[in-house]
Structure 1
Amino acid sequence: MSDLGPSSHASAPEPREPTSTNARTPRQRRALRVVIAAIVVLGLVAGTGAFFLRSDDATSYPDQWDARIKPYVDIVEEERGLTFKHPVKVRFLDKDAFEKTVRTDKKDLDKDEREDIRETESLFRAFGLISGDVDLFDAFNDASGSGTLAYYSFDNRSITVRGTKLALASRATLVHELTHALQDQRFDIADRLKKLGKRAEDGAPTTEPDALRAIVEGDAERVANLYRMSLTKKKRKAMQKAEAADSGDSLEEMKGIPKVVLTLLGAPYALGQAVTEAVAAQDADDVDGLFENPPPDDSVLLDPLKALGDMGDAVDVKIPTVGSGEKKFDSGQVGALVTYLILAERIPLKEALTATDTWTGDAYLGFKRDDVVCARVSYATESGSAALLTTAFEDWIDAAPGSTATVERSGNQVIFESCDPGKDAELTNDASTKALELVATRGYVGAGIIQAGAPAPVARCFARRMIEEYSVADLTDPRFGADDPEFAKRIQGFAADCR
């Protein structure tokens, strides 16, 4: 993926981190949220289904850290400003043994799980996220297996590393995973996610678990990046070279995987890091507050500066009703992030992001009509902004001639409905990677302005002006605008306008 970081221009991490080994998990019907896609498709494997499970009675801890790991434990404690309560077990596995822990054999799926996958594939087509006959199980399975260097299991509280030795390319990843162990010990992550996920498992409209997961990933990636930046220039260059080589191998293995799959798996890392960077830029100690009082929904991933103020409570939106001749099979919340990705597949990215910025909540119904999978979403928007989201969905519908999708507006509410058009329809622009780059860049620009001492409203205004006026390629180029007095003058004008 392209560079998405702030001054360091750290690239968005490839999806690489399951949270448990091949433990069978409860069947879950939440099909269309950022990590829920992975839950449904990879219900038996690494993924957030097992993330919820914990077997405390069976968990044991070593008396001391593995000597190979201890230096990185010290680094994590220093960079994160917290101490471990106890060591955790770390195991090193050769490539073949490691991959067995992050992949699932399709033969292990039962009838209900296979039906879940088919429904999810239909929903992805209904929302224009994929086209054609895509096997999402294989896509998520391949992405998880190919991009994984190490993982922390919230199930048995242990770390597993690919390789019998700690390779240079895996060291920052190890810091990331150790940060998860520290988070779990200090903030009881798995049990809290289990409680947050209960409502979602029952079909209630919520993306609060997704917001917390993104903060968990973003904080760990932030600490890993601090570690990278603490290295000497020579060591950092060597690590970057090793990571690039490993990433190149992974990308080769990932050819053919739909971009939206990689985007859904990578978004919590890139966008969660933007949230934690914004908070840390104001006061590093405030990052703990994100764990103690997580955002009520995933809109914070599109606007990280929300985390700097009172995020309030989630907006209560009622699940759309089932009509005559319709059979419900799912319900929940699409969320701000997936709504943005849906729009971004057919309309200009900046229009999609501006429209999604009006999102204040939604509730979605998955149903079948004449055996065709459909979804109906009720959106709540900021006061006076429903027309903006309605227009965006109208443009999205117009971009696919012959589409049977509909959208209507009532006050501040927008009702959107779409059905699976079938495997022969061409639906997407394959734009999810660029969509992620755009919103992540905006987040990091805002975090940088916070670090410079500006209040959140000024930083938000400035970041939006910057992405309106300049491309992602420009804004992620460390030399862009250097020694250009006209550029400096224009930037000063933006800052003055936003005060």
Structure 2
Amino acid sequence: MNRRRSVGGLFALLVLGALGCRQRPPPPTAAPIADVAVDAGAPALVAARDATAGAPGGRLMDLAGETAVTMARIRGLSLQHELRRGVMDRDAIVSRLREKTAREYPPGEILLEGELYKRLGLLPEAMDYERTMFDLLEEQVAGFYDPDEQTLYIAGWLPSAAQPGTMAHELTHALQDQHFHIGRYTHHVRGRGDAQTAAMAVIEGDATASMLDFMLAPMGRRTRDMPDVTAMVASQLQGADQMRLREAPRALRESLLFPYLAGLGMCVRALRAGEGYSRVDALLATPPQSTEQVLHEAKLAAREAPVMVPSRVPPALAGEYEVAYHDVMGELGSRLFFYSAMPDARAHSAAQGWGGDHAVLLVPRGTMTSAGDAGVNLAGDALTRDVMLWTVVLDPVEGARGAAADREAVDFAEAAVSVLMWRHGARPAAAVAGAMAARDVGGGRVSLVARSGRRVLVADRVPRASAAAVVRSALAE
């Protein structure tokens, strides 16, 4: 899900603010973090022109300056130029994030993104996706760094105990940006969702590990030396006061947490394998290409590139439909798809053979018009007649031949049928040539799962008359 990326290309500390005051490390058992040289003439932070006035704001900006020096030492990355910073209240920060998102996402883009996820069964049909995202943002945001403005926005309302850890996290983003220009990885690009989520996992995983190092340093501990550190952070987050996050659909909740938790796990592995943060720096310079690489150390080490699957309209629908939205779901998106219908272990097993994919949302021709800046306006009934096609290519089983090489695809397809039955099992069966299973979802439309070799098609609301032809073209090698 694209919302796995930070909203509007910003680096917002969405869910970790609670750790700044909740974290209680065990007694020290490891050597303290080694000192790293910092440039003697490192630029100071300078106050943003729109910073909140007053003594409390001044104290917070002083704290940010002190914390920046400490984080430069922990990360081994000097401040290369001045960084603006300002203190803002919650309403001002949320307003700034909304403005940035509106500038980055063309009109209609978030609506279409949410519709694609609904067709995959990841979100409830009645959910207002954009409103839900901003409700979550308003609840969770605890400050942010804006790479376009090179400015740190400090949350003036946070408890004093939470401020140092929060600043440590966001100042790590500033250091990342000055050395690796991380903003280039995160600006919204349609069809790059999984790759951008993978890049965000490095960015947020590094910032979380660095924040923990900052908090643990006075006790002589290091993030890399803590067993099960990711589980510890996950436990802290579950105990945090995040009602809207807890009540959000699981797919949304998991996608928001993934960069922090899976990214932390990946960065901790890199810390344990190298000297200092050198291997994390290498990941920032060349991020993983997919969430598959984030989840599997061997895939990352091999830099196994995803299979490119085109986003196209099948010939059988080309005269009547056009592409409204498309994205790559990745292994993470595959897990989210399966979670609704099976235990987590089964979902992970079914998704682990992912090799590449593309999910496409089609709307009837003539129902979508340009709204400027590459945005769209939709006719009122466009999303009552849309079609979703998700084509997935699975990896071959290593060393196997013939049908045995397709085992991962068989497993994925069988799990997808379980999801189909969970969603539409009460509806009448439909006979569609080439489909493993199909259900009549009303209005002359069917939802189905089909497989040929290592390709799997999951389709929702396909016109029944065209369904067999859609299956044939989608599964053609």
Q: Same fold (TM over 0.5)?
A: yes
Asked if the contact 2:389–2:460 (Cα under 8 Å) also holds between the matched residues in 1, the reply is yes
Asked if the contact 1:89–1:158 (Cα under 8 Å) also holds between the matched residues in 2, the reply is yes
- 2:82 counterpart letter in structure 1: P
Provide the rounded CA distance (Å) in 1 between the counterparts of 2:273 and 2:266. Answer: 11
Q: Please tell me whether residue 272 in structure 1 is matched to residue 272 in structure 2.
A: no
Question: How many angstroms does 1:62 deviate by?
Answer: 7.3
- 2:458 counterpart letter in structure 1: F
Asked if the contact 2:339–2:347 (Cα under 8 Å) also holds between the matched residues in 1, the reply is yes
Provide the rounded CA distance (Å) in 2 between the counterparts of 1:182 and 1:303. Answer: 27
Asked if the contact 1:150–1:162 (Cα under 8 Å) also holds between the matched residues in 2, the reply is yes
Provide the rounded CA distance (Å) in 2 between the counterparts of 1:174 and 1:49. Answer: 15
**Residues 315-359 of structure 1, C-alpha deviation per residue, up to 9 Å, x if partnerless?**
222334333233321223122111110111222211110111100
The structure-2 alpha-carbon separation of the partners of 1:142 and 1:312, relative to structure 1 and needing over 3 Å to count, comes to: same
1:405 maps to which residue? 447
Gapped regions of structure 2 (runs ≥ 5): 13-41, 47-60, 221-234, 365-381, 397-404, 428-438, 440-445, 463-477
2:76 to 61, 73, 81: 81
**Residues 223-250 of structure 1, C-alpha deviation per residue, up to 9 Å, x if partnerless?**
11112222349xxxxxxxxxx9999785
1:33 maps to which residue? 2
- 1:405 counterpart letter in structure 2: S
Asked if the contact 1:334–1:363 (Cα under 8 Å) also holds between the matched residues in 2, the reply is yes
Provide the rounded CA distance (Å) in 1 between the counterparts of 2:156 and 2:198. Answer: 32
- 1:372 counterpart letter in structure 2: R
Question: How many angstroms does 1:268 deviate by?
Answer: 1.2
As a proportion of its length, which structure holds more strand? 2
1:231 maps to which residue? 218
Asked if the contact 2:43–2:80 (Cα under 8 Å) also holds between the matched residues in 1, the reply is no
Question: How many angstroms does 1:145 deviate by?
Answer: 1.2
User: Within 5 A, what are the aligned runs for 1:378-457?
Assistant: 378-383=391-396, 384=405, 385-400=408-423, 401=425, 402=427, 403=439, 404-419=446-461
Number of residues paired by the alignment? 356
**Residues 123-144 of structure 1, C-alpha deviation per residue, up to 9 Å, x if partnerless?**
2221111224111111100111
Provide the rounded CA distance (Å) in 1 between the counterparts of 2:343 and 2:237. Answer: 33
Provide the rounded CA distance (Å) in 2 between the counterparts of 1:134 and 1:302. Answer: 29
Question: How many angstroms does 1:118 deviate by?
Answer: 4.0
Provide the rounded CA distance (Å) in 2 between the counterparts of 1:112 and 1:290. Answer: 30
Asked if the contact 1:34–1:337 (Cα under 8 Å) also holds between the matched residues in 2, the reply is no
Question: How many angstroms does 1:254 deviate by?
Answer: 5.0
SS in 1 for 2:86: strand
1:313 to 281, 305, 311: 305
Greater gyration radius = 2
Q: Please tell me whether residue 216 in structure 1 is matched to residue 203 in structure 2.
A: yes
Question: How many angstroms does 1:304 deviate by?
Answer: 4.0
Provide the rounded CA distance (Å) in 1 between the counterparts of 2:178 and 2:90. Answer: 29
**Once structures 1 and 2 are overlaid, which stretch shifts more, 315-324 or 357-366?**
315-324
2:468 maps to which residue? none
User: Within 5 A, what are the aligned runs for 1:280-291?
Assistant: 280-283=271-274, 284=276, 285-291=278-284
**Residues 417-476 of structure 1, C-alpha deviation per residue, up to 9 Å, x if partnerless?**
1249xxxxxxxxxxxxxxxxxxxxxxxxxxxxxxxxxxxxxxxxxxxxxxxxxxxxxxxx
1:298 to 265, 283, 291: 291
1:168 maps to which residue? 161
Provide the rounded CA distance (Å) in 1 between the counterparts of 2:415 and 2:65. Answer: 52
TM-score calculated relative to the size of structure 2? 0.66
Question: How many angstroms does 1:48 deviate by?
Answer: 2.6
Provide the rounded CA distance (Å) in 2 between the counterparts of 1:180 and 1:167. Answer: 21
Question: How many angstroms does 1:193 deviate by?
Answer: 4.4
SS in 2 for 1:68: helix
2:249 maps to which residue? 258
The structure-2 alpha-carbon separation of the partners of 1:379 and 1:49, relative to structure 1 and needing over 3 Å to count, comes to: farther
Provide the rounded CA distance (Å) in 2 between the counterparts of 1:47 and 1:227. Answer: 27
- 1:414 counterpart letter in structure 2: V
SS in 2 for 1:69: helix
SS in 1 for 2:62: coil
Gapped regions of structure 1 (runs ≥ 5): 1-31, 39-45, 52-60, 234-243, 421-499
Q: Please tell me whether residue 326 in structure 1 is matched to residue 321 in structure 2.
A: yes
User: Within 5 A, what are the aligned runs for 1:128-167?
Assistant: 128-163=121-156, 167=160
Q: Whose relative contact order is higher, 1 or 2, with alpha carbons under 8 Å and at least 6 apart? A: 1
TM-score calculated relative to the size of structure 1? 0.63
Provide the rounded CA distance (Å) in 1 between the counterparts of 2:253 and 2:414. Answer: 28
SS in 1 for 2:363: strand
Question: How many angstroms does 1:387 deviate by?
Answer: 0.6
Question: How many angstroms does 1:276 deviate by?
Answer: 1.0
Provide the rounded CA distance (Å) in 2 between the counterparts of 1:63 and 1:50. Answer: 21
The structure-2 alpha-carbon separation of the partners of 1:49 and 1:372, relative to structure 1 and needing over 3 Å to count, comes to: farther
Provide the rounded CA distance (Å) in 2 between the counterparts of 1:417 and 1:347. Answer: 19
Asked if the contact 2:68–2:171 (Cα under 8 Å) also holds between the matched residues in 1, the reply is yes
2:389 to 366, 376, 379: 376
Provide the rounded CA distance (Å) in 2 between the counterparts of 1:64 and 1:73. Answer: 8
2:224 maps to which residue? none
The structure-2 alpha-carbon separation of the partners of 1:331 and 1:91, relative to structure 1 and needing over 3 Å to count, comes to: same
1:207 maps to which residue? 194
Asked if the contact 1:33–1:333 (Cα under 8 Å) also holds between the matched residues in 2, the reply is no
| Root mean square deviation, CA, Å | 3.6
The structure-2 alpha-carbon separation of the partners of 1:176 and 1:399, relative to structure 1 and needing over 3 Å to count, comes to: same
**Residues 204-229 of structure 1, C-alpha deviation per residue, up to 9 Å, x if partnerless?**
x6632221122111110111111222
Provide the rounded CA distance (Å) in 2 between the counterparts of 1:249 and 1:229. Answer: 20
- 1:76 counterpart letter in structure 2: M
The structure-2 alpha-carbon separation of the partners of 1:112 and 1:291, relative to structure 1 and needing over 3 Å to count, comes to: closer
SS in 1 for 2:168: helix
Question: How many angstroms does 1:34 deviate by?
Answer: 4.7
Asked if the contact 1:320–1:377 (Cα under 8 Å) also holds between the matched residues in 2, the reply is no
Provide the rounded CA distance (Å) in 1 between the counterparts of 2:100 and 2:73. Answer: 40
Provide the rounded CA distance (Å) in 2 between the counterparts of 1:358 and 1:86. Answer: 44
SS in 1 for 2:271: helix
**Residues 254-303 of structure 1, C-alpha deviation per residue, up to 9 Å, x if partnerless?**
57543433322221111111111111111142111112222222212322
- 2:271 counterpart letter in structure 1: A
Asked if the contact 2:329–2:357 (Cα under 8 Å) also holds between the matched residues in 1, the reply is yes
Provide the rounded CA distance (Å) in 2 between the counterparts of 1:217 and 1:408. Answer: 37
The structure-2 alpha-carbon separation of the partners of 1:254 and 1:321, relative to structure 1 and needing over 3 Å to count, comes to: closer
The structure-2 alpha-carbon separation of the partners of 1:329 and 1:49, relative to structure 1 and needing over 3 Å to count, comes to: farther
1:336 to 319, 331, 334: 331
